[in-house]
Chains A and B, each alone.
Chain A
Amino acid sequence: MNTPAFILIAVITLAGALAAATLRKLIHAALSLVIAFVGVAASFFMLGAEFVGLVQVFVYVGAVAVLIVFTILLTRREVTGEPGINWGGAIVALAVFSGLLWAILKTSSLAIPAPQIEPLTVKQVGEALMTNYVWPLQCVGLVLTAALIGALLLVMEEKR
């Protein structure tokens, strides 16, 4: 973990996120979102959670972003010009940000450097998933299945 890399990743992530949130065109926003997600994945790598980083890249960049792009394409006849951003939302977001920031900065116990750790292997993750977390894993599987079926049902053409 070195600082320049962190700064670079942070800047990329936040810039991507900001672009995703504020750009006018949906398609541009979707692409920026990909950049932000890649940044987040990089952070995960940096923090030593390589597996999660990979999952992030696969799931988000590979699947969710593609889904979004598809949806945009499917609904692109929508031509309503998006009128800027709403300042009320911006104020609330800023307020939340400053509130949380204040809480973080006030808590002095957070200013700690990272301890040395054993690298987390995929094997360890897999063992944990199959032992302690086996029930959650099953549930998530169920949820994913249900979501899949549900999404299919939703997007099926309505019968006339």
Chain B
Amino acid sequence: MTPTLQLFLIVSTALFSIGLLAALSRRHAIFILIGIELMLAAANLNFIAFWRFGPQPQPPTGVLVAIFSIAIAAAEAAVGLALVIAIYRHYRTTNVDQLDQLKG
């Protein structure tokens, strides 16, 4: 017996929910970023799984989307972390609770 598509989707759902959990319930900005990265990874897993289990042969669209997504996630992580550092310099905190103003 080999794992079915369903199982992969379940794993990715779990991963997504854990990411959501981190993003919603932690107060530290970096944790939120971690959560978002986890959710992105879950999405990638979905892309790959659907590509793999889809009707064959087909162009490797799922794979390519995943690659793009990883690239953009990297960019997002870089900018996000830079923001964290900048904000930290300004407010001396990375706790998002205290960050609720649009102007400095």
- A residues lining the B interface (CB < 8 Å): 1-3, 6, 10, 13-14, 17-18, 20-22, 26, 29-30, 33, 36-37, 40, 43-44, 47-49, 51-52, 55-56, 59-60, 63-64, 67-68, 70-72, 74-75, 77-78, 80, 82-83, 85-90, 92-94, 96-97, 100-101, 104-105, 110-118, 120, 124-125, 128-129, 132-133, 136-137, 140, 143-144, 146-148, 150-152, 154-155, 158
4 further interface pairs, Cβ-Cβ under 8 Å (given A21-B22, A44-B66, A158-B89): A78-B88, A88-B25, A111-B5, A143-B72
Cross-chain contact B73 with A49 (CB below 8 angstroms): no
Contact (A71, B18) CB under 8 Å given A36-B41, A115-B53: no
A–B pairs, 27, beta carbons within 8 Å = A14-B18, A22-B21, A26-B28, A26-B30, A29-B31, A29-B34, A36-B38, A36-B41, A43-B45, A51-B63, A52-B67, A64-B77, A68-B30, A68-B33, A72-B30, A85-B26, A86-B27, A92-B24, A104-B13, A110-B6, A113-B4, A117-B52, A117-B57, A120-B60, A120-B63, A136-B68, A148-B75
Within 8 A of A (CB), among B1-44: 1-11, 13-28, 30-31, 33-35, 37-38, 41, 44
Cβ–Cβ < 8 Å partners of A111 in chain B: 4-6
Q: How far is the CA of A14 from the CA of B70 in the complex (A)?
A: 19
The answer to whether A30 touches B34 (Cβ under 8 A) is yes
Q: With a CB–CB cut-off of 8 A, which chain B residues contact A115? A: 53, 55-56
Q: Nearest CB to that of A30 among chain B residues?
A: B34
**Which residue of B is nearest A154, CB measured?**
B82
Contacts of B76 in A (CB 8 A): 147
* Contact flags B45-66 to A (C-beta < 8 A → 1, else 0): 1001101110111011011101
* Closest A residue by C-beta to B83: A154
Chain B residues close to A by CB (< 8 Å) = 1-11, 13-28, 30-31, 33-35, 37-38, 41, 44-45, 48-49, 51-53, 55-57, 59-60, 62-64, 66-68, 70-79, 81-86, 88-89, 92-95
Residues of B within 8 A of A118 (CB): 57
B28 proximity list for chain A (CB < 8 A): 26, 82
